[in-house]
Amino acid sequence: DSGVTQTPKHLITATGQRVTLRCSPRSGDLSVYWYQQSLDQGLQFLIQYYNGEERAKGNILERFSAQQFPDLHSELNLSSLELGDSALYFCASTPGGQGPFGEQFFGPGTRLTVL
């Protein structure tokens, strides 16, 4: 158990809908990263937050957004969903800005299925 929690575990929805994925980092970790894992694109970095502020963006669509709250949990919002958004979404956390050796601790993921 990494100490990172994600909810829900599974999400099934329809095209055009909006969903919110939630991540609680390990206790004390300030930085949260979101990744998308899909069959065609592999594991890709989406966005990073550090202590409530957005720090970096990766291959994140404009339909997607995220935020980190004062209690450090983070939410990833996906809107106008398309079939191609079906994927496994992971969050990871690190202590401070980066782990001592750069390692990240991953949650179990949320599997999103868009029908």
Partner 1 sequence: GNSVTQMEGPVTLSEEAFLTINCTYTATGYPSLFWYVQYPGEGLQLLLKATKADDKGSNKGFEATYRKETTSFHLEKGSVQVSDSAVYFCALSERWGSSNTGKLIFGQGTTLQVKP
Which residues here bind partner 1, judged by CB under 8 A? Answer: 2, 31, 33, 35, 42-45, 48, 55-56, 58, 90, 92, 94, 97-99, 101-109
Residue 12 Cβ vs partner 1, minimum distance, rounded to whole Å? 16
N-term to C-term CA, the chain: 31
Structure tokens at 3: 């100490």
DSSP 19-34: EEEEEEPPTTEEEEEE
Residue 15 Cβ vs partner 1, minimum distance, rounded to whole Å? 26
Query: Judged by CB, which is closer to partner 1: 65, or 79?
Result: 65
Q: Are 57 and 70 in contact (CB under 8 A)?
A: no
Amino acid letter for position 107: G
Residue 57 Cβ vs partner 1, minimum distance, rounded to whole Å? 9
Query: Judged by CB, which is closer to partner 1: 35, or 64?
Result: 35
Residue 96 Cβ vs partner 1, minimum distance, rounded to whole Å? 9
Structure tokens at 21: 């994925």
